[in-house]
Amino acid sequence: MEPADFYSGIVVDAYAKLKSSSFEFGPYIDFVRAAGEPALEIGCGDGEPMLDLCAAGLDVDGVDSSADMVRRCRENAVERGISTRVHHQRAESLDLERRYSSIYFAGPTFNLLADDRTATRALHAIARHLTDDGAALIPLWIPDPTPAADLQVSRAAEDGPAVELRYTPLSETYDREARTRTTTSRYERITPSGTESADREWIIHWHTPRSFVALCEDAGLEVVRLVDDETNADASDTSTGFTATVRNASG
């Protein structure tokens, strides 16, 4: 299965029920208001935080590589009475009709692009879809290995009467040279009539501040800010969570 197709089937249901936190939409509202509209959220998933930005009156489109997530997002928009555009495309092959004053990833979704080649293609696509004076916001993350004690340990949530969704990380490889963490995981829906399961490889490909700046340069983008998420100062070689603001180098 392609990494871009990770979120499909039972995984989409498990994501909605088992995600450990929600996005704070305030920083994304601030970014879009500063950079301008229209805006594009890449990796919009089931609509968080994009639909909150739309509810605040902002013109925000969404795009996601998962057809199931796009369907769920559209359903959530209808349920909330929100009119928006949600596209089913991969970040590395975006081909949308609009250009955007602001493009952003909600959280470190960019890390789901499985290698530098795919990440560079996504940056090229962002450059093509930005207006001349537009900006993109890209949060990034360097993960630790999953503790051995957490492997084979399940998390579960109810999904209706007598139905349980379960997530279990089974094993993991952590390749510092390739900057890639691959976690083999099992998703299960347990009902009185039986169990549905799917095994998936969750790939996190990370970037250092230095390597990300180099990728942006290759894509014709200029990093205008690179901020450590903890200190709010300039990111350094020791930063493990940082957010980049980029523009077209010719803009």
CATH label of the domain that carries residue 184: 2.20.25
pLDDT at 20: 60
Considering the domain architecture, whether residues 44 and 87 belong to the same structural domain is answered as yes
Considering the domain architecture, whether residues 35 and 135 belong to the same structural domain is answered as yes
pLDDT at 18: 80
Please count the other Cβ atoms lying within 10 Å of the Cβ belonging to residue 176: 9
How far are the Cα atoms of 93, 110, 198 from residue 204, in angstroms, in the given order? Answer: 19, 9, 19
Cβ atoms of residues 43 and 103 within 8 Å: no
Domains of the chain: total: 2
Considering the domain architecture, whether residues 63 and 112 belong to the same structural domain is answered as yes
Overall pTM surpassing 0.75 (yes/no): yes
Considering the domain architecture, whether residues 200 and 214 belong to the same structural domain is answered as no
Query: Which residue reads 């092959």 in tokens?
Result: 93
Q: In what order do the strands lie in the sheet with 180-191?
A: 155-158, 164-175, 180-191, 194-205
Considering the domain architecture, whether residues 34 and 155 belong to the same structural domain is answered as no
Q: Which residues of the chain have pLDDT under 70?
A: 1, 3, 20-22, 251
Considering the domain architecture, whether residues 79 and 165 belong to the same structural domain is answered as no
Return the beta strands (E) in 90-213 as ranges: 100-105, 130-141, 155-158, 164-175, 180-191, 194-205
Considering the domain architecture, whether residues 109 and 8 belong to the same structural domain is answered as yes
pLDDT at 145: 97
Considering the domain architecture, whether residues 111 and 218 belong to the same structural domain is answered as yes
Considering the domain architecture, whether residues 62 and 106 belong to the same structural domain is answered as yes
Please count the other Cβ atoms lying within 10 Å of the Cβ belonging to residue 234: 12
Domain range enclosing 201: 148-205
CATH of the domain at 10: 3.40.50.150
Per DSSP bridges, beta strands 86-88 and 130-141 are unpaired
